[in-house]
Amino acid sequence: MRILFVAGGTSGVIFSIVPLAQAARDAGHEVVMAGPENVMATVTTAGLAGLPVTARKMLDTLRYDDGSYRTIPTDLHERYIFNGRCFGRYASWCLEALLTFADQWRPDIVVGGSLVFAAPLVARYAGVPYVRQAVDMGEPRTIDLAAAAELGTWLGRLGYHEMPRADLFIDVCPPSLRETDAPPAELMSYVPFATKGPIEPWMYTRGSRPRLLVSAGSRVSRDRDFEVLSGLVTKASALDVELFVAAPPAVAEALRPLPDNAWAGWVPLDVVAPTCDVVLSHAGGTTVLGNLHYGVPQVLIPYLPYALGFTRRVVEYGAAVMVPPEDDSPENVVEACRAVLDDSSYRRRARDVAAEMSRLPGPAEVLATVERLALAHGPRGRG
Amino acid sequence: MRVLFVTGPTRESWYQLVPLCQAVRLAGHQVIVAGHEDVLPVVVSSGLPAVAVSATTLHAGLVDRSGEQVEIPSDAAERDLAIGRIIGRFAARSLDGLSSIVEQWRPDRVVGDAWAVAAHLVADRYGIPYVRFGVDIATPVAQTLAAIMELGPELEKWGRHDLSTPWLSISAAPPALRPADAPPSEPMRCLPVETQVALEPWMYLRDSRPRVVVSVHDPSLPWALFGPARLAELTVGLPGLGAEVVVAGSPAALEQTPPLPAGVRVGQAPLAVLAADCDLVVHQGYPDTILTCLDKGVPQVFLPAHPGFVEPAEQLTELGAARVTCAASSAPEHVTDLCGQVLADSALRETARRMHGTYDLPDPRRLVDLITAEIDGDGQGEVAE
């Protein structure tokens, strides 16, 4: 059958849906993953057929048409609405090409990541079931609602009175960390996927000292974050650890000279994480899930408000320590890392989650549900 | 069975719910109407028991949750979202009052006006089947979605991700005006209802001249761009057409109407009575006015009070039953000319008259059984906290 995957506008959210798409391709289905031009390399290097649907980038949603930047609100409710509207805006840019492609290619079913709001619309338009796959451990629900409102004009044009609801929701959040009111879902084991490159022995072998990995994300280009990062490197040099800083080349260069026990540059998280004793990050959804998959305890600084919900759940579970963004001095961050290294309970809890995740059905098994859904609906949506 | 009806934020949106509400009551069910203090006198005057939800008003929604005054943007898409958020804030401020009513009275069904988003959320919260009632005219889907978006924090607080799909949806949209994006619904004939007054002969008797009714509307919507004063200004030339001119509206609307030329009748008179025998109704495009005109098969001239009212006006113009002009940019002479053309246009009059015949929809009594139908495994009225 023909399965259309609709990807989001950033690598992180694409990584999450790659395993199911690969499972579908490996089962012999025709698979196309649609997304913006600037992520096509991410899609095609995952071995998937990529369909570019817009020349605009996710980051362009932060600007007005004249190029000036929109003001990001500080009030939390307004900020969620702002974020949701950005996702809605992004979806609206993808729709024209997606609908044309749906007419030409006639998918049997559409799979979209949680924040990809073009997916439900193209599914409904094509008259086929829509599968929604969580890309991390959930976002504030106002984001979904605001994306829908932003797409109101499109909905009106297509004659729909609401966002089409998912026929199947696949969640990748381990059961112990799901919200108590999470919607009914088919649970799937989260398999980390990341951009690949040649790996070296130090990446997959441990040394004698504990390993601390800092996953700096894309935020380090900002001045303030860089200070936190460089301060951290200095402070961590006092710890008896190996320190790895996963950072873009320019940031890694700026950090040099590094103390003897530190290394900065490209780090394939899915290769290195299993050798680590603690991972420090800004609590990006896929980073947190990936480390849970490998049973690595974490120190989380949820800089983006949407990450606060799941960060709290992981902390409550005992698999991570949170440093509130307003307390992110190098001293505090190093202290939190030391606490995780010194107390084996974090490692134990992280491994408990990993065990739980490994018992969930994998992408190939969940694919069977997707297939059944498409078949029940009939060939090419005309059944 | 206990059926709770919930009004929308404005008086005029209540009127359309009255026939259904009375039909449920006349079928022997217990009915209570929940509405805002503003709306209650109108509910009571419809002969129905009414309870106050809160003292908030739609206008209070012009201040956002963080205390900031909001502007209504001129861009169409932005405006729809801003309007929806006002409706959403109104709903947010209604939730406590409505929840208390539901906890105390424990209805088996909640029937809410499409704009009463709070009713839907509270019904969901307490696990009560929700019946959506909409007229579905001049309500862009973006407005509804923005209202729900505004309720994000409350949805989260009550463990919900979105509003449920209504258990039953009823639409009183006239088929000619029903938008493609209106939710799938059981159709219902919409019967004009309004506040009644003791009739005087001039209301139901006309003289030999053509009769033109200028219907001034309650200034109920915070985003309306003009009100009764502008309408009176624009229609000042109508007596020059040799027509009998009647200006009618609610007391609140008449209060905003400036003194009119000698010979023009002014008063609170039911539009349905006036429209039953007249040649033209000039109005601001509010859905309740449109519905009354369609039901009476009378030609209409629209001076839409805000851009959201333009669509139905254009639809009816296209169908040949009405004409529309912009209230902001038109001069009185232009409006007089336009009305003169309509009065002289027998084809338009005939088309408008035939619109009446398109009202062949089930009347409210036919919906009662659907609303009160038993549900499998029904946890009727159970308070699920």
As a whole number, mean pLDDT of residues A199-203 equals 89
Contact A149 B148 (CB under 8 A): yes
Contacts of A181 in chain B (CB under 8 A): 159-161
B156 pLDDT higher than 80? yes
Three state DSSP letters for A227-288: HHHHHHHHHHCCCCCEEEEECCHHHHHHHCCCCCCEEEECCCHHHHHHHCCEEEECCCHHHH
Record: contact B146-A152, CB cut-off 8 A = yes
Whether A2-189+360-377 and A201-359 share one fold: the answer is yes
- Min Cα distance A144 → chain B (Å) is 8
Task: Mark yes or no for CB contact B182/A161 under 8 Å.
Answer: yes
CA distance B66 to chain A (A): 8
List of chain A residues whose C-beta atoms are within 8 Å of the C-beta of residue B152: 77, 80-81, 140-142, 145-146
Q: Provide the pLDDT for residue A248.
A: 80
Q: What is the pLDDT of residue B383?
A: 41
Closest CA–CA distance from residue B58 to any residue of chain A (Å) = 20
Contacts of A154 in chain B (CB under 8 A): none
- Over residues B165-180, the pLDDT tens digits come to 999 999 999 888 998 8
pLDDT of residue A329: 86
Measured in angstroms, the CA of B178 and the nearest CA of chain A are apart by 11
Per-residue model confidence as pLDDT tens digits over B180-212: 899 999 999 988 889 899 999 999 999 999 999
* Entry pTM: 0.91
Architecture of the domain defined by A2-189+360-377: 3-Layer(aba) Sandwich (3.40)
Domains of chain A by residue range: 2-189+360-377, 201-359
- Mean pLDDT (whole number) for A135-144: 90
CA–CA min distance B302, chain A (Å): 23
Residues in A touching B77 (Cβ below 8 Å): 152-153
Best of B125, B132, B139, B141 to mutate (most A CBs within 10 Å, chain A): B141
CB B367 within 8 Å of CB B112: no
pLDDT for B359 = 67
The domain over range B2-190+362-372 is classified in CATH as 2.160.10.10: no
Query: Which chain A residue is nearest to residue B161, measuring alpha carbons?
Result: A141
Answer yes or no: is pLDDT of A381 > 60.
Answer: no
Edge-first strand listing for the sheet containing A30-35:
A49-52, A30-35, A2-6, A109-113, A130-133, A168-171, A186-187
- Rounded CA gap, B130 and B381, in Å? 11
Q: Count of A–B CB contacts within 8 Å?
A: 93
Provide the pLDDT for residue B141.
Answer: 94
Q: Which of A92, A121, A145 to mutate to test the interface with B (most CBs of B within 10 A)?
A: A145
- What mean pLDDT comes out for the span B217-239? 93
- pLDDT digits 0-9 by tens, B83-110: 999 999 999 999 999 999 999 999 999 9
Q: What is the pLDDT of residue A254?
A: 86
State how beta strands A49-52 and A109-113 pair.
Answer: unpaired
pLDDT in tens, B250-303: 999 999 999 998 889 999 999 999 999 999 999 999 999 999 999 999 999 999
Q: A301-328, pLDDT tens digit by residue?
A: 988 888 899 999 999 999 999 999 899 8
Which CATH number does A201-359 carry? 3.40.50.2000
Residue A213, H or E segment? strand A211-215
Q: What Å distances lie between residue B376 and A63, A195, B117, B170, B373, CA to CA?
A: 51, 51, 26, 21, 10
Residues of chain B with Cβ-Cβ distance to A152 below 8 Å are 77, 80-81, 140-146
Asked if A148 and B140 come within 8 Å (Cβ–Cβ), the reply is: no
Whole-angstrom distance, CA of residue A160 vs CA of residue A75: 31
Shortest distance, CA A74 to any CA of chain B (angstroms): 11
Q: What residues of chain B have any CB closer than 8 angstroms to a CB in chain A?
A: 64-66, 77, 80-81, 84, 140-146, 148-149, 151-153, 155-156, 159-162, 165, 179-184
Average pLDDT over residues A262-291: 90
Strand order in the sheet with B168-171: B50-52, B30-35, B2-6, B109-113, B130-134, B168-171, B186-187
**Contact between B152 and A75 using a beta-carbon 8 Å cutoff:** no
Q: What is the CATH number of domain B201-359?
A: 3.40.50.2000
Q: Per the CB < 8 Å rule, is B162 touching A153?
A: no
Under 8 Å between Cβ of A241 and A260: no
Instruction: Report domain extents, chain B.
Output: 2-190+362-372, 201-359
Which of B64, B141, B146 is closest, CB to CB, to A156?
A: B141
Task: Name the minimum distance, in Å, from the CA of A152 to any CA of chain B.
Answer: 4
Subunit contact B140:A181, Cβ cutoff 8 A: no
Top-confidence residue, A75 or A224 = A75
Q: In this predicted model, what pLDDT tens digit does every residue of B14-30 receive, in sequence order?
A: 999 999 999 999 999 99
ipTM of this predicted structure: 0.88
DSSP string, B182-231: SPP-EE-PPPP--------HHHH---SS-EEEEEE-----TT-S--HHHH
B2-190+362-372 and B201-359 share one CATH topology?
yes
Q: Give the chain B residue whose CA is nearest to the CA of A142.
A: B152
A319 vs A315: CA distance, rounded Å: 6
Residue of A nearest to B150 (CA): A142
Nearest to A61 by CA among A27, A102, A94, A110: A94
